[in-house]
Chain A
Amino acid sequence: MAGRRAEEEYDYLFKVVLIGDSGVGKSNLLSRFTRNEFCLESKSTIGVEFATRTLHVEGKIIKAQIWDTAGQERYRAITSAYYRGALGAVLVYDVSKPTTFENISRWLKELRDHADSNIRIMLVGNKTDLRHLRAVATEDAQNFAEAEGLSYIETSALEATNVEEAFQLILGDIYRAISKKPVVSDDSGAGAAGGVKEGKTINVAPGDAGAEKKQCCST
């Protein structure tokens, strides 16, 4: 019973989307974070996948509801609907593949077009275990992130390096952003937090996202 309660009771529910080019390791970052699993031979993601994990962030119990998306450009027709109402976006590239880093600005544009304007964004350079293949310098990514106002971290889903930290970072970032804003404790923010209705949820209506909450995920 205690375990179940721990799963279900939380202070905040944050919807986060995982985006970035195909093959950079989004699905494995997610499985590492939510199930502590890694798979060298995972299937490519078709459409969207979904997973959650509840954890402590800054003394609060946060339930992270994470939407993993197919990275191929063609799939944005389906996946971009999932940006709506997301409080955070984890934008992943592969440190051994420069093109996946170059495409980051296109992904940012994509977010500006489809996501709520106050969405928190974190840039993640994944696959740091491929040391001899590194092709994107930490400094370049850091500078880019700074210029764009994103938080930045490097991870390895394979070695489980910084994965926990990465999600702590974005969730903490979201928490700090919303705790400066008025908090609504009824159901009205459900859509904004990702189309979820749950009893004890304290949801957050993040300013201008409120207007769009009913359209969440409708295509």
Chain B
Amino acid sequence: MDKKKAIDDTEPGPAPSRGVDRFGFIKPEQSNSPDGLPKGKSIQEREREERRIRKWRKMIGVGGSDWKHYVRRNPHVVKRRIRKGIPDCLRGLVWQLISGSRDLLLLNPGVYETLVIYETSASELEIIRDISRTFPSHIFFQQRHGPGQRSLYNILKAYSVYDRDVGYVQGMGFLAGLLLLYMSEEDAFWLLVALLKGAVHAPMEGLYQAGLPLVQQYLSQFEKLVMEHMPKLGQHFVEEMINPSMYASQWFITVFSYSFPFHLTLRVWDVFLYEGIKVVFQVGLALLRFCHDDLIKLPFEQLLHALRNFPEEATDPDVLLPIAFTFKVSSRLEELQKEYQKGPEGSSETSTSKRHQPLISKTMSRVGSRVISNLISDKK
């Protein structure tokens, strides 16, 4: 059912061809960096892994039939399990369930096809230019005009038609590309819609709208959180004139999918889809906390370099995520958002007020607005 490109780490599937890691990324020459798993797993580990998958299968039910029921009864169990990582073989399906994209897909039969086949987009050239520059080191996207590149193009074009206001913005390709490694084109498209239009969490289209209002807001919130949780480091940043737009823009714009080890990206996405954008703040803070004592000594240039090249130990999800979850940021994020929107900086009134209304966008294509109103009526 799911077009799965990633090589699963628990099922004894075909061994990855040489030179490619277990996710399908071409390994840099003679790299000895671990791709997130110890080489040989003990029998106990394998058994534990299999038990885990059985638990997950039970929780989901056939094709996701039991999922909603389970979540309603045991939201905390679900949250805990997701934080430990969704089994890779179930990831694509679970992502669709927790993001609300499954519902969107079912509500809008045939819409994606229409967008791909019949509509034309003003962004087509811009999209094409970036296709080969999105996950260029992944085998699925390597082949020029191959299935990976074609699907990526289709999704991005479809979205640029679906919301002509947003169109295509660099960075969206990394979200779409990541999703395509775990699900079909149409499923990936609706997951992108679910995220940007806000099916479950606050809409994220502000990341890509004119003026990038949500990027600006997130960066401002992040800067304040750093100051509050790590005042010394925050002060050091001020003195060295380091500002989060210099290192964290891509964390938010691509939700950690641009330049971090893939196994970390996946674990962040597991949590991100279930709990929302706050995990990006938490992981960002955790990275700074982990490297705190080094960062605080560095002058501007080295500091900026360090903020863009975290050491391998820092990007191990089993180390980083537990640190991330120690930061309680939800309520503070809300306050900071209100402050930001009141303050002189957050003066782009139209986009800020729009941000509060999930699923409404100013001028959408015919098809697009129909989809959205369907979704709204479903929610009531």
Residues of A at under 8 Å CB distance from B?
Answer: 22-23, 41-50, 52, 65, 70, 72, 74-75, 77-78, 81, 190-191, 195-198, 216-219
Across the interface, do B299 and A198 meet the contact criterion of CB distance under 8 Å? Answer: yes
CA distance A47 to B219 in the complex (A): 12
Q: Is the CB of A219 within 8 A of B299?
A: no
Q: In this assembly, does B96 line the interface, its C-beta being within 8 Å of a C-beta of chain A?
A: no
In whole angstroms, what is the CA distance A72 to B134 when docked? 15
**Contact residues in B for A216 (Cβ distance below 8 Å):** 241
Cβ contact within 8 Å between A70 and B170: yes
Residue B208 at the chain A interface, CB threshold 8 Å:
yes
CB neighbours of B240 from chain A (8 A)? 197
Footprint of A on B, CB under 8 Å?
A: 126, 129-130, 132-137, 169-171, 173-174, 208, 210-212, 215-216, 219, 239-241, 243, 245-246, 249-250, 253-254, 258-259, 299-301, 304, 308
A70 (CB) vs chain B CBs: closest residue: B170
Whole-angstrom distance between the alpha carbons of A190 and B300 in the complex? 11
Which residue in A23, A75, A195 is a CB contact (below 8 Å) of B300? A195
A contact residues around B129 at 8 Å (CB): 22-23
Quick check: A47 and B250 within 8 Å, CB to CB? yes
A-side contacts of B134, CB under 8 Å: 43-44
Cross-chain contact A44 with B130 (CB below 8 angstroms): yes
- Min CB distance B16 to A, Å, is 20
Q: Which residues of A contact B300 (CB under 8 A)?
A: 195-198
Which residues from chain B contact A77 at a C-beta distance below 8 Å? 210-212, 215-216
* B304 nearest CB neighbor, chain A only: A50
Select A46's contact among B132, B137, B216, B258, beta carbons within 8 Å. Answer: B258
Task: Let me know if B246 and A48 touch, CB within 8 A.
Answer: yes
User: What are 18 A-B contacts with C-beta separation under 8 Å?
Assistant: A41-B132, A43-B134, A43-B135, A43-B136, A44-B133, A46-B170, A46-B174, A46-B253, A47-B250, A47-B253, A50-B308, A65-B301, A72-B126, A72-B170, A75-B169, A81-B245, A196-B301, A216-B241
**B241-A48 in contact (CB<8A):** no
Give A195 to B253 CA distance when docked, in angstroms: 24
**How far is B308's CA from A195's CA once the two chains are assembled, in angstroms?**
18
Contacts of A72 in B (CB 8 A): 126, 169-170
**Set of chain A residues within 8 Å of B219, measured between Cβ atoms:** 219
- Tell me the smallest distance from the CB of B240 to a CB of chain A, in Å: 7
A195 contacts B245, CB within 8 Å?
no
Contact B301 A46 (CB under 8 A): no
Q: Which residues of A contact B135 (CB under 8 A)?
A: 43
Known: A75-B170, A197-B240. 6 other contacts (CB 8 A): A43-B259, A44-B133, A46-B258, A47-B249, A74-B170, A81-B245
